[in-house]
Amino acid sequence: MPSSRAAVRALDFLVQKHEICAPFHFDVKESTVGVPKKRTSSQKRDQRRAANSRYEAANVVSCQKCREPILPHTVCSNCGTYKKRAILATAEE
């Protein structure tokens, strides 16, 4: 692929004269590769990387039977129930 505009113009000329085939011609103007204008500062770079590694507090709900705080969609470890239904055998029974 040609690197300079002069090389493109030379290839254009040869294509028009049918010296070479058209697929060898490459137009620089159609290139749409994004090129950063400024170097990203270390602060902005670190802010971007830190956004994916933040810890968030776990969602806690209370058991419907004994009101003990539990994780949602889990069997209560205190009374052994899930949605008020006995799932696990506990010492009380």
Q: Which is nearer to Zn ion, 19 or 92 (CB)?
A: 92
Q: Which is nearer to Zn ion, 25 or 65 (CB)?
A: 65
- Do the beta carbons of residue 19 and residue 38 sit within 8 Å? no
Segment interacting with Zn ion (CB under 5 A) among 9-17, 39-47, 52-60, 65-73: 65-73
As a whole number of angstroms, the distance between CA 57 and CA 6 comes to 61
Q: Which tokens hold the place of 58?
A: 């776990």
Segment interacting with Zn ion (CB under 5 A) among 5-13, 23-31, 32-40, 57-65: 57-65
